[in-house]
Homo-oligomer: A and B are copies of this chain.
Amino acid sequence: MSNRMVKLARRPKGMIVRDDFRLEEGAIPEPADNQFRVKIAYVSLDPAMRGWVNDTKSYVPPVAIGETMRAYAAGIVEKSNNPAFKTGDAVQGLFGVQNYAISDGSRVVKVDASQAPLQRWVGGLGMPGWTAYFGLLEVGQPKAGETVVVSAASGAVGSVVGQIAKIKGCHVVGIAGGAEKCRYVKDELGFDACVDYKGGNLAADLKAAAPKGIDVYFENVGGEILDTVLMQMNVFGRIPVCGLISAYNATAVPEGPKNLRAVLTQRLRMQGLIVFDWANRVPEAISQLGQWHKEGKLKIREDVREGGLDAFTDVLNLLYTGGNMGKLVLKV
């Protein structure tokens, strides 16, 4: 019996490769006073991970060489010296890519495994769901009747963004890669339309799907999609910037949006967001998302991959190649 940990071996250049990480074995850690041990069941794979391993100024310090890779995960408390967490509690937190984590409870959320399966608590009801909730409602501020466009619409965040926008009475258009994802976004998630950016006619297709122009663009990707959307934004439009995944593996500094002038002429508000900034309001997000989920208004799908910790890099890279469908989760 031991703990296996995925540790950062070196700074990746471009796409992550297996040798950028190494698997280490160690003793199962013992909780000290006020700590508890979690046996991890599911590790969340998120686009932000690519940024966390870069040695650049960001909203969190980079993962250090030799450190266990940072990750949201869900698991069960196995042993506890902390009165707020009991053996058997289902929990979600930044537990890292490993089998066992020690925590003092900070930023850990107790979850109700009877309400939704454990993997959902790192997906639509976890950090990606909270990101969608605060990012759309607080930064995007959609009003009923407005047109909301979201990129990476079949992904963990985008799928929730679009469904919340529907709940709020908006005309909702997704952007996704390929016919299968678009079908899922439109037919299963209930978006009004979905545009396939691989179809070669993004500007015209988007115009047809959003004929009144775009009031809110929830940005997950950047690059050419942003440039195309900028030219169709309405006056006083809002662009919550949640992710720029198209550039995360760039080895050179990427090109920026050529159509930035639209920000001026249309008086757009483009605003970055990180879910940590609403840390004290997470219970509100969990409660509301859970309610919508229970009522059938919020559909959530995980793409759970087997293979355990050995498969970490391969599974993670699915995010950057568009290989996942729904929230990507690694079963440990």
Q: Quick check: A259 and B253 within 8 Å, CB to CB?
A: yes
Evaluate contact between A253 and B264: CB separation under 8 angstroms.
no
A263 located at the interface, meaning its Cβ lies under 8 Å from any Cβ of chain B in the complex: yes
Give the segment of A51-59, A180-188, A288-296 that binds chain B.
A51-59
Query: CB of A124 within 8 A of chain B?
Result: no
- Decide: A257 and B259 in contact? CB cutoff 8 A: no
A242 to B264, CA, bound (A): 7
Q: Taking the complex as formed, is A214 at the interface, i.e. its CB lies under 8 A from any CB of chain B? A: no
Question: How big is the A interface, by class?
Answer: 35 or more
Q: Which residue, of A261, A263, A270, has the highest number of chain B Cβ atoms within 10 A? A: A261
5 contacting pairs across A/B (C-beta < 8 A) = A51-B265, A222-B260, A241-B264, A244-B260, A264-B274
Contact of A257 among B260, B266, B277 (CB under 8 A): B260
Within 8 A of B (CB), among A42-60: 51, 57-59
A267→B59 contact, CB < 8 A: yes
**A259 near B256: Cβ-Cβ < 8 Å:** yes
Nearest chain B CB to A249 CB, angstrom units: 13
Interfacial chain B residues near A244, Cβ < 8 Å: 260-261, 264
Q: Is A201 an interface residue (CB 8 A)?
A: no
- Whether A269 sits at the interface, judged by CB under 8 Å, is yes
- Closest B-chain residue to A263, C-beta based? B272
B272 near A266: Cβ-Cβ < 8 Å: yes
Question: A254 and B258 in contact (CB under 8 A), knowing A269-B269, A269-B270, A269-B271?
Answer: yes
Known: A254-B258, A260-B257. A270 touches B271 (CB 8 A): yes
Q: Which of A221-269 contact B (CB under 8 A)?
A: 222, 227, 235, 241-244, 247, 253-269
CB-nearest residue of chain B to A264? B272
How far is B240's CA from A76's CA once the two chains are assembled, in angstroms?
A: 47
A261 to B48, CA, bound (A): 12
A94 at the interface (CB under 8 A from B): no
Does residue A309 face the partner (Cβ distance < 8 Å to B)? no
Q: Does A102 contact B (CB under 8 A)?
A: no
Complex CA gap A264/B241 in Å reads 6
On whether A270 and B274 interact (CB within 8 A), knowing A254-B258, A256-B258, A257-B256, the answer reads no
4 cross-chain pairs, A with B, having the tightest CB-CB distances, nearest first? A256-B256, A256-B257, A264-B272, A267-B272
Given contacts A269-B270, A272-B266, contact A256 B260 (CB under 8 A): yes
| Complex Cα spacing A22 to B211, Å | 39
Q: How far is the CA of A16 from the CA of B57 in the complex (A)?
A: 42
- Report the Cα distance A133→B187, complex, angstroms: 49
